[in-house]
Structure 1
Amino acid sequence: MYKVMIVDDMEIIRRQIKRLPLWGEETGFHIVEEAEDGKDALDKLQKQSVDLLITDIKMPRIDGVELLKEVDEHQLARCVVFLSEHSEFSFAKEAIQYGIFDYLVKPVQREELQKLLLKAQQYIEEEREKESQLKKLEDRLSEKLEVYYPEHHIESIIQYISAGDAQQALPAIEAMVTDTGAALERDPIKTAVLLEKSYGEILKGIYQHHQWLDQFVDKALLVNINLTNCGDIEAMKVHIVAALGILEATIAQLILRGKKSPLIAEICSYVLENVEQSISISTISEVLFLTKNYIGDLFKQETGMTIGEYITMVKMERAKQLIAEGTLRNYEVADRLGYKDAEYFGKLFKKNVGLSPMEFKNALRDEARGR
């Protein structure tokens, strides 16, 4: 069975497509879900991916092109087909960049849909066969991971990244890619499969050290790494270094290293783990059983920053992630981080980030459109 979702803000269009006598046992394509706009579709796709997504281009909230980007990035559908008026084919160039499968012109004709379903079926079966072969290869290689890249080397990379040590981490990551490729005679498919396994082990290890990371980076983007599309080992190296570099840089930024005292990292970890709670120097001193004056003076002396300034910086970094996720309004972000005055939160955000929350959101949107 092939799962299908239809997305259009006009119910009459969705109904017209559903009435075409091509769904069900005859073709194997079954409509399992429909949505009235891109936002509704994205919410449903995150719960259940589909094989074929047929979507309008011009829709409120999230349009077809934005939906395509999200689907491509998070692998939520195998084939995306645009429903369009003839005048809307100007979207073609951007759509091709994000892997559009095909187009259907409204109103959808039975013959055109039938051709598309046959084409989609062939493509989906080919993709399933590739995935099956990759899974078998992965299973064989994973059993011999220790042979190709020793576990203690992977553990070293985990330790370097977890310590925010770019000087040690980045060369070690590059060496892992180079050594794995050499051990597999630079076979791109085998190297990609094994590196994805090593990458997964590293990611798991880092998150065990720093469980708070989820709140400051988009884990979904990091987890959904696909090296088999890289083509060559150098491209794989760039991809892995970039992904793990995000984690190393985030850790280095948020876990301040004291010149002498290990207490600094402990204070940072507590703030990071409780970023959405009400935190102050008083709550930290109670948890650590130390006086406010002692930890305040020590933190300032070791880092050059007051604990209050650090707490604000961490909360603003969390705010950036919440804004990027796009599910909360600005006042909801403020409230979630313990700021009852949304206007004060906005001023604090601009002071620390350089942009207002709305400007930051718009900048993210413009960046996504420019990719």
Structure 2
Amino acid sequence: MYSVLIVDDEPLICEGIRSKLLRMNRVDISSIRIAYNGVHAQEQMASKVPDLILCDIKMPDMDGISLMKATSAKYRGATFIFLSGFGDYNYVREAFKYGAADYLLKPVSFTDLQKQLLAAIKLVDSRRSEASEADDDTADRGSIIDLSKTYIQQNFQRPLTLSNVANEFSMNYSYFSTLFKKETGMTFTSYLTKIRMKEAKKLLGDPTIRIHEIAGMVGYDSAYNFSRAFKSHFLLSPNRYRSESLHSRKH
């Protein structure tokens, strides 16, 4: 289904275009609204963004091109067809620079309007398809990162590397690194360290487990490397953290 907004400061033109659209008897046009200036059009868009905007190119207060720029910056998917006079060529040329689908000369004939409407609907369908594919790709990428986070949480005790996890999900090393940071806000190494340090804090609460044992339990190959990572993360050595934690429990 498609919604249409007609924008023109002349009410007779608006009503004439609406009448022609109704005569086309298209069941796929769900609504036809009218705005008499750019500000009024923006108010209408706040409640529902139209698929097609038939807009006068020259209007007082806010012209059609200014409306298209404002709409493009705020909303996605609205397709503009401009209504112009014979002397508006420079405006029309600028409109195409900003992505207008086409233009119609006033007075708008039924045949020209029908032709441009069909072309614009095809463009809307194409844009919807592209947006849907982009959204699907974003869901797929997001689910891969969610799976990789789960994998890290289940395998942080092992000597994990970025390439290990990227290979696990058959992804390019460089692409996975960029995607992981984009989706989580953290580098792979920072995320892995965060998981390991969270577990280390829990284990340090048990005084019967030695530091070198904890190091191996959270994926480090030596107590030295573990202690260095822990101190960098918490600004305390594991021994100092343990003694302060135990002391606080007693009091």
Q: Same fold (TM over 0.5)?
A: yes
Partner of 2:60: 60
- In 2, Cα distance between equivalents of 1:97 and 1:132: 25
Contact 2:83 2:104 survives alignment (8 Å): yes
Partner of 1:2: 2
Unaligned residue ranges in structure 2 (runs of 5+)? 151-171, 186-251
Specify the code of the residue in structure 1 equivalent to 2:117.
L
Q: How many angstroms does 1:143 deviate by?
A: 1.1
Q: How many angstroms does 1:15 deviate by?
A: 0.9
Name the SS of the counterpart of 1:86 in structure 2.
coil
Name the SS of the counterpart of 2:59 in structure 1.
coil
Residues 230-254 of structure 1: per-residue CA shift (max 9 Å, x gap): xxxxxxxxxxxxxxxxxxxxxxxxx
Q: How many residue pairs align between the two structures? A: 166
Specify the code of the residue in structure 1 equivalent to 2:174.
A
- In 2, Cα distance between equivalents of 1:34 and 1:77: 19
Q: CA RMSD in A?
A: 3.1
Specify the code of the residue in structure 2 equivalent to 1:54.
L
Partner of 2:113: 113
Q: How many angstroms does 1:29 deviate by?
A: 2.4
Name the SS of the counterpart of 1:26 in structure 2.
coil
Q: How many angstroms does 1:101 deviate by?
A: 0.9
Q: TM-score, normalised by structure 2?
A: 0.58
Larger Rg: 2
Specify the code of the residue in structure 1 equivalent to 2:131.
E
Name the SS of the counterpart of 1:9 in structure 2.
coil
Go from structure 1 to structure 2 and tell me whether the alpha carbon gap of 1:143 and 1:106 turns closer, same or farther (over 3 Å shift): same
Q: TM-score, normalised by structure 1?
A: 0.40
- In 1, Cα distance between equivalents of 2:92 and 2:32: 27
Contact 2:5 2:34 survives alignment (8 Å): yes
Contact 2:77 2:128 survives alignment (8 Å): no
Partner of 1:140: 140
Q: How many angstroms does 1:4 deviate by?
A: 0.2
Q: How many angstroms does 1:71 deviate by?
A: 1.2
Contact 2:7 2:56 survives alignment (8 Å): yes
Q: What percent of counterpart residues are identical?
A: 29
Partner of 1:88: 88
Specify the code of the residue in structure 2 equivalent to 1:126.
S
Q: How many angstroms does 1:73 deviate by?
A: 1.2
Specify the code of the residue in structure 2 equivalent to 1:183.
Y
Contact 1:64 1:82 survives alignment (8 Å): yes
Contact 2:83 2:106 survives alignment (8 Å): yes
Partner of 2:174: 182
- In 1, Cα distance between equivalents of 2:41 and 2:64: 10
Contact 2:57 2:65 survives alignment (8 Å): yes
Partner of 2:200: none
Specify the code of the residue in structure 1 equivalent to 2:182.
S
Return the structure number with greater relative CO, CA threshold 8 A, min gap 6. Answer: 2
Go from structure 1 to structure 2 and tell me whether the alpha carbon gap of 1:181 and 1:57 turns closer, same or farther (over 3 Å shift): farther
- In 2, Cα distance between equivalents of 1:2 and 1:51: 6
Q: How many angstroms does 1:74 deviate by?
A: 1.4
Go from structure 1 to structure 2 and tell me whether the alpha carbon gap of 1:149 and 1:46 turns closer, same or farther (over 3 Å shift): farther
Q: How many angstroms does 1:149 deviate by?
A: 9.2
Contact 1:23 1:31 survives alignment (8 Å): no
- In 2, Cα distance between equivalents of 1:12 and 1:22: 15
Specify the code of the residue in structure 2 equivalent to 1:35.
A
Residues 225-274 of structure 1: per-residue CA shift (max 9 Å, x gap): xxxxxxxxxxxxxxxxxxxxxxxxxxxxxxxxxxxxxxxxxxxxxxxxxx
Go from structure 1 to structure 2 and tell me whether the alpha carbon gap of 1:77 and 1:147 turns closer, same or farther (over 3 Å shift): closer
Q: How many angstroms does 1:148 deviate by?
A: 7.3
Unaligned residue ranges in structure 1 (runs of 5+)? 151-179, 186-190, 203-371
Partner of 1:270: none
Specify the code of the residue in structure 2 equivalent to 1:96.
F
Q: How many angstroms does 1:30 deviate by?
A: 4.0
Residues 144-188 of structure 1: per-residue CA shift (max 9 Å, x gap): 2257799xxxxxxxxxxxxxxxxxxxxxxxxxxxxx982259xxx
Go from structure 1 to structure 2 and tell me whether the alpha carbon gap of 1:77 and 1:37 turns closer, same or farther (over 3 Å shift): farther
Contact 1:81 1:103 survives alignment (8 Å): yes
Q: How many angstroms does 1:55 deviate by?
A: 0.6
Q: How many angstroms does 1:23 deviate by?
A: 5.8
2:10 paired with 1:13: no
Q: How many angstroms does 1:77 deviate by?
A: 4.7
Q: How many angstroms does 1:6 deviate by?
A: 0.3
Partner of 1:130: 130
Go from structure 1 to structure 2 and tell me whether the alpha carbon gap of 1:97 and 1:149 turns closer, same or farther (over 3 Å shift): farther
Q: How many angstroms does 1:18 deviate by?
A: 1.1
Go from structure 1 to structure 2 and tell me whether the alpha carbon gap of 1:20 and 1:119 turns closer, same or farther (over 3 Å shift): same
